């Protein structure tokens, strides 16, 4: 029994802000001097990101016009976790609904009433009764739909959701699984000049992605057969990519060593995956890699002998959206799906995502 990823839909908040405008906001918020501001702008320029989306318009505004952050020097009193979670509850549902509608619009043969399983994914906000129950009501899903929540796993969580969807379809051939990844990363800006926080503030944006997985291909559009999964763990990276709840939001640790550790481990991960399949790395021409950052993509290319063209979908998503945590790899898969033609039938696709641990899926 094979399951199929049949469609991906996406949505972003209305505020699309150029990367260097966000750099100016950060420099002001961190009260950097002229040299610090130049260094910060250089970091943003080489990030590979052109724009990011956010639910907070403040990132594109000057002090005095903020809606969420205080209009004070240093943004004091800095918003608490409670204030940030209130914004998450306000924005997560409408953004998720838009992504689902975009997904299902690509599959007119799929009735909402036929969805048997709902998987929600997020690491940037949690509450209960939560997003899963709100989606049942808002979308008109059957009340008996089976709900699963994947929380706080980070950027690789979409792969775990796909594993769950695959297992549901293998267990019940009639299963039709809707998965929704919603991440509002910009709620968790940390007012810190530590290198880890400067980097994470430079990378993350907001977005939602929805996908439909079922036990048969879509009727009139390309589908991806989910044929094998593999998980790798690099424990020495335990402290280099982490995600903690603190008094002023969720704090991301993303050290400069992460690209090097991924480069060291990605070959073993790929070998472990391909051992399950009659496929060699040289057979693969289509890649959907989570763009955790420009250096991560370049490290993978060096380790596996890929080109920037092989990684083109990842670079496009990084440029246009930044890193949206778990939703990001689904944006990449969306663009890959849109590029497929009948000549690509049966061609293998290799996808990676990464997260705390250091985990590589």
Active site residues: 155
Tokens read off for 57? 């318009």
Give one DSSP letter per residue of 168-225, joined into a string: HHHH-TT-EEEEEEEEEGGGG-----SHHHHHHHHHB-EEEEEEEEESS--SSS--EE
- The pairing of beta strand 117-122 with beta strand 146-151: parallel
Q: What letter does residue 284 receive in the DSSP assignment?
A: -
Q: How large is the C-alpha radius of gyration of the chain?
A: 20
**Residue 174 and residue 215 in contact, taking contact as beta carbons nearer than 8 Å:** yes
Q: How many whole angstroms separate alpha carbon 328 and alpha carbon 321?
A: 9
* Lookup result for tokens 């549902």: 93
Classify burial at 200, counting beta carbons within 10 Å of its beta carbon; exposed 0-12, middle 13-18, buried 19 or more: buried
Within 10 angstroms of residue 32's Cβ, the number of other Cβ atoms is 17
Task: Give me the helices (H) in the chain, please.
Answer: 19-29, 34-45, 81-105, 131-139, 157-171, 195-203, 258-274, 294-304, 312-321, 328-339
Q: What letter does residue 360 receive in the DSSP assignment?
A: E
Angle at alpha carbon of residue 208, lines to 202 and 210, rounded to 5°: 145
Q: How many whole angstroms separate alpha carbon 152 and alpha carbon 148?
A: 13
Can you name the residues that pair with 212 across neighbouring β-strands? Answer: 7, 178
Tokens read off for 253? 């640790």
3-state secondary structure of 121: strand
């Amino acid at each position: 029994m094979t399951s199929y990823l049949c469609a991906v839909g996406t949505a972003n908040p209305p505020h699309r802000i150029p990367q260097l405008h966000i750099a100016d906001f950060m420099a002001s918020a961190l009260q950097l001097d002229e040299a610090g501001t130049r260094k910060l702008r250089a970091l943003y320029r080489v990030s590979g990101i052109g724009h990011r989306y956010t639910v907070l318009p403040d990132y594109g505004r000057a002090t005095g016009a903020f809606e969420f952050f205080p209009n004070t020097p240093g943004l004091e009193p800095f918003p608490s976790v409670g204030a940030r979670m209130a914004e998450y509850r306000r924005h997560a549902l409408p953004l998720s609904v838009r992504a689902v509608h975009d997904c299902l619009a690509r599959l007119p043969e799929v009735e909402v009433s036929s969805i048997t399983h709902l998987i929600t994914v997020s690491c940037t906000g949690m509450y209960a009764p939560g997003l899963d129950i709100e989606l049942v009501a808002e979308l008109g899903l059957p009340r008996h739909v089976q709900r699963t929540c994947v929380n706080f796993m980070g950027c690789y969580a979409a792969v775990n959701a796909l594993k769950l969807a695959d297992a549901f379809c293998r267990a019940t051939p009639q299963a039709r699984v809707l998965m929704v990844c919603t991440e509002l990363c910009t709620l968790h800006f940390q007012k810190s000049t530590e290198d880890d926080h400067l980097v994470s503030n430079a990378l993350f944006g907001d977005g939602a992605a929805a996908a439909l997985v079922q036990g048969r291909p879509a009727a009139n559009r390309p589908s991806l057969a989910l044929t094998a999964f593999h998980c790798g763990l690099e424990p020495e990276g335990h402290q280099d990519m982490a995600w903690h709840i603190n008094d002023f939001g969720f704090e991301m640790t993303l050290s400069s060593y992460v690209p090097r550790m991924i480069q060291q481990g990605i070959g073993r991960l790929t070998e472990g995956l391909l051992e399950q399949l009659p496929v060699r790395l040289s057979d693969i021409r289509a890649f959907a890699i989570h763009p955790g950052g420009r250096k991560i993509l370049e490290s993978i290319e060096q380790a596996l002998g890929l080109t920037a063209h092989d990684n083109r979908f990842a670079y496009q998503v990084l440029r246009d959206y930044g890193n949206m945590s778990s939703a990001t790899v689904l944006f990449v898969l969306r663009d890959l799906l849109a590029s497929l033609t009948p000549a690509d039938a049966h061609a293998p696709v290799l996808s990676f995502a990464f997260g705390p641990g250091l985990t590589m899926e």
